A = this chain, B = another copy of it.
Amino acid sequence: MPYFDAASSAPLHPIARQALQASLDEGWADPARLYREGRRARLLLDAAREAAAEAVGCRPDELTFTPSGTHAVHLGIAGALAGRRRTGNRVVVSAVEHSSVLHGAGDSAVTVPVDRSGRVAADDFVAELSADTALACLQSANHEVGTEQPVAEVATACRTAGVPLLVDAAQSLGWGPTPGGWSLLTASAHKWGGPAGVGLLAVRKGVRFAPQGPADERESGRSPGFENLPAIVAAAASLRAVRAEAAQESVRLRALVDRIRTRVPELVPDVEVVGDPVHRLPHLVTFSCLYVDGETLLHELDRAGFSVSSGSSCTSSTLTPSHVLRAMGVLSEGNIRLSLPTGTAPADVEHFLEVLPGVVSSVRERLGAPTPTQTSGEADALVVDALGKLCPIPVIELAKVIGNVRIGGVVRVLSDDAAARLDIPAWCAMRGQEFLGEEPLGEGSGYLVRRVQ
């Protein structure tokens, strides 16, 4: 049963399992104690820190183990901000950072936009660095669409500006070290096949850093709580293991992803493949299918044996599309992310490509999606009242009536669904129609679309 959601959590690597089981016997005692069980635990902890630091590209005393990647991010941002309190409190982040970074940075953070591929322009990012900037945060690669960010370039500019750069390397650390002169780096073991319960926070010597929260002597005062030693040992061992396989496996998975990127639009009409086609993670691909409800799509793929994720609004508790897709301005309806675990069999990918077209068309059929027929209407203007209807209905209704206005005529779609703001313009771009803009209503908005062809 193919699991294609490694970017959420990767299956445990065999080496992680081995290391975890071995260290259950040796690593349960308190490494701060002086007796033999404590000394053994300390040796394991020190060895794990050395191995992980080597993979990260930092000194062991620059590396802190945290209970999760989220903790690493929260602790890293809070400590860096407190260490730079005298400089200011401005934080600069890309618009497509992981939610842990955006929540850690707070609502007042300055957000640098991205292009349609999800990539931030280094110049745009650097332009936001000011004298009172305490911290900059830029991911190594995006978790939803796989696009790599210009980390090395931004790191150099940050160094020149005297601003520390925190790089969230959660999605990329298993594939290789993070380029450039970053100041802080965060990562999460269960993304590379390590166990849950382990994050990494690296803070370069010389970076001003003041740990926040109640004092605790563990992990040099940077991450409170008793060390999760067997999991830490397993995390470090599996990081070494996946790194040893990374060069070969990344080439293999990159080819599989390239095949998906090429074949899906050939096999399924009205699909937008998103994210940078070249500067991207090797194992991750995301596309969106017009006229499809993401939750139903996920459900049908699950029934067919495929585990994937989605940034569609209807699959989230907030009923809004993922902030990444919003920042990119791409279609969000029928959104599917595949992230292939190491070892993914080509046959599983082929099977997915066989199954997908039927799944999408059956969902479309059920929803009454429009068939692409060229009609020629006479009306100057039409109104579609889709108030109270959720994604993908507003777009489907729009597509159904666009042929009823003349070329040059305007359709006004009334919608209070958050996804419409993203998906109506995206539909226009995909279908070669003109999006004129959004008018606020009492509740919801009117979206104006001019028929061009």
Contacts and interface: CB of A to CB of B under 8 A. Distances in A.
A55 interface: no
A36 B302 CA distance: 7
Nearest to A302: B35
A329 interface: no
A302 B34 CA distance: 8
A226 B70 contact: yes
A226 B37 contact: no
Contacts of A295: 34
A360 to B, nearest CB: 17
A35 B190 contact: no
Given A34-B315, A35-B298, A308-B35, A71 B225 contact: yes
A8 B38 CA distance: 10
Contacts of A70: 216, 218, 224-226
A71 B224 contact: yes
Nearest to A27: B196
A81 B104 CA distance: 21
Interface in A26-63: 28-30, 33-38
A34 B298 contact: yes
A307 interface: yes
Query: Which of the listed residues A24, A227, A231 has the most CB atoms from chain B within 10 Å of its own CB?
Result: A24
A214 interface: yes
A225 B34 contact: no
Contacts of A224: 68, 70-71, 74, 100
A373 interface: no
B12 A33 contact: no
Nearest to A34: B298
A35 B216 contact: no
A217 B317 CA distance: 10
A333 to B, nearest CB: 17
A225 B69 CA distance: 7
Contacts of A103: 214-216
B71 A229 contact: no
Interface string A309-335: 100000101000000000000000000
Nearest to A217: B317
Contacts of A315: 34
Interface residues of A, number: 63
A89 interface: no
Nearest to A299: B34
A156 interface: no
Contact of A226 (B68, B99, B228): B68
A201 to B, nearest CB: 12
A130 to B, nearest CB: 23
Nearest to A229: B196
B299 A5 contact: no
A406 B19 CA distance: 67
A210 to B, nearest CB: 15
Contacts of A368: none
A226 B74 contact: no
A36 B199 contact: no
Contacts of A228: 67-68, 195-197, 228, 231
Contacts of A12: 24, 28
Contact of A214 (B3, B68, B104): B104
A231 B197 contact: yes
A17 interface: yes
Interface in A98-149: 99-100, 103-104, 106
B226 A190 contact: yes
Contacts of A213: 74
A226 to B, nearest CB: 5
Minimum-distance CB pairs A-B, first 9: A68-B225, A67-B67, A197-B228, A35-B307, A103-B214, A70-B225, A197-B197, A8-B30, A196-B228
Given A36-B307, A68-B224, 14 more contacts: A5-B29, A5-B35, A9-B29, A21-B21, A33-B309, A35-B307, A67-B228, A69-B225, A70-B218, A70-B224, A103-B214, A197-B231, A228-B231, A231-B231
16 contacts: A9-B226, A17-B24, A20-B20, A24-B195, A35-B302, A38-B307, A68-B224, A69-B225, A70-B224, A70-B225, A70-B226, A74-B224, A100-B216, A104-B214, A196-B231, A197-B197
